[in-house]
Amino acid sequence: MPSRPPTEPRSAFGQVVVAAGHMVDVAGRSPPRFPASDEEAVTRAVGEALDRWGVSRGTLLVCGGARGADIIAAEQALARGAAAWLLVALPEEAFLATSVELPGSDWAERYRALRRRCPTWFQPDELPPAAPGEDVFERNNDWCLEVAGAQAPPGGLRVLAVWDRSGGDGRGGTADLVERARRAGATVEVIGPPGARR
């Protein structure tokens, strides 16, 4: 595994997909964005999108490793023979506590299974310290897009976002990443969890 995610252009991949989106909701979240009951439907929709794009060997998927959209997309990409890289916003224990673990779920085990299979880098180890007031998740969106864009051939950058299309969830959220991806010229596909409040 390289010591850090390469950002120099390469030609090893025919396409690169950045996966992002909502985490599965904690119990009782109001309004719901990605209820746990939607996991099967979202997983099916993610798989269908990857199949439409021909994701297989020669594809790289880049994501942040959080429960929900990130982990589902990485699992589905690996099942199709693609490579997956995890670019994680926080030190691992803090990230597990804030963005992976959910009581009564297997998300932490699934994250650890991905860690055993995927090259993984942690933002605090790879990027300069965040400036005062700078959001680490916003930085992670930019980092994922930068790394993916460097690896993608011309016209080969795609973004798959699990997003309820609400007005936005702030800096570093899914709406923010979708907007940044569109400005970068990526092909963007949005999957809406069916149980989210519209």
> How would residue 195 be classed by pLDDT, with cut points 50, 70 and 90?
confident
Residue 168: what pLDDT? Answer: 57
Q: Which fold has domain 15-191?
A: Rossmann fold (3.40.50)
Cα separation, 143 vs 125, whole angstroms? 13
Cα separation, 126 vs 144, whole angstroms? 12
Residue 173: what pLDDT? Answer: 82
**Average pLDDT value for the chain:** 91
Residue 166: what pLDDT? Answer: 81
> How would residue 1 be classed by pLDDT, with cut points 50, 70 and 90?
very low
Q: What percent of the chain has pLDDT over 70?
A: 90
User: Domain residue spans in the chain?
Assistant: 15-191
For residue 62, give the 3-state DSSP assignment: strand
Cα separation, 25 vs 33, whole angstroms? 7
The reply to whether omega before 31 is within 30° of 0 (cis) is yes
Residue 2: what pLDDT? Answer: 42
**Do 156 and 54 meet the contact criterion of CB atoms below 8 Å apart?**
no
Residue 62: what pLDDT? Answer: 98
Over residues 102-106, mean pLDDT: 96
**Do 161 and 20 meet the contact criterion of CB atoms below 8 Å apart?**
yes
Q: Work out the number of other CB atoms within 10 angstroms of the CB of residue 108.
A: 14
**Do 172 and 137 meet the contact criterion of CB atoms below 8 Å apart?**
yes
- The candidate with the shortest Cα–Cα distance to 88, out of 107, 112, 65, 71, is 65
Over residues 45-54, mean pLDDT: 98
